[in-house]
Amino acid sequence: MRPLNQQDKKNIYNVLADAYIEVVKRQQIGKFERRSLSKKILEKVEAAKTADDIKLFIHDLMKNYPFFQFSEKILTSEVQKIQEEKVIDHLQKFIHSQ
């Protein structure tokens, strides 16, 4: 599986940031939990090596913070896009090697 690059991680951060801002606006999370959640998001996305790592993180995030479910489709779509780009890259390399 293709490793995540910085642009992939930036896209995931952006989606999570939008969801996070919405959660704060709705006052669904307290100050202490905001700090903890922010740190967790930054650490987990930075440590992620592949799209599967992000999928696991999203799953854990939804389990522990159900208010993120409204952004699940966007997050899943972003991960799917990363995986599709990986497949396309492999196909292009194969075609050009022939």
pLDDT digits 0-9 by tens, 7-25: 888 888 888 888 888 888 8
> How is residue 27 annotated by DSSP?
T
Whole-number pLDDT of residue 43: 94
Who wins on pLDDT, 78 or 31? 31
Q: What does the domain layout of the chain look like in residue ranges?
A: 6-97
Who wins on pLDDT, 67 or 18? 18
Sign of CA dihedral 2, 13, 48, 74: negative
What is the spatial distance between Cα 1 and Cα 12, in angstroms, rounded to a whole number? 17
Q: Chain centroid to CA 97: how far?
A: 32
Whole-number pLDDT of residue 92: 86
User: pTM for the complete prediction?
Assistant: 0.71
Q: Which residue has the tokens 């208010």?
A: 67
Sign of CA dihedral 56, 53, 84, 12: positive
The model's confidence at residue 47, banded by pLDDT at 50, 70 and 90, is very high
Query: Is the Cβ–Cβ distance between 54 and 45 less than 8 Å?
Result: yes
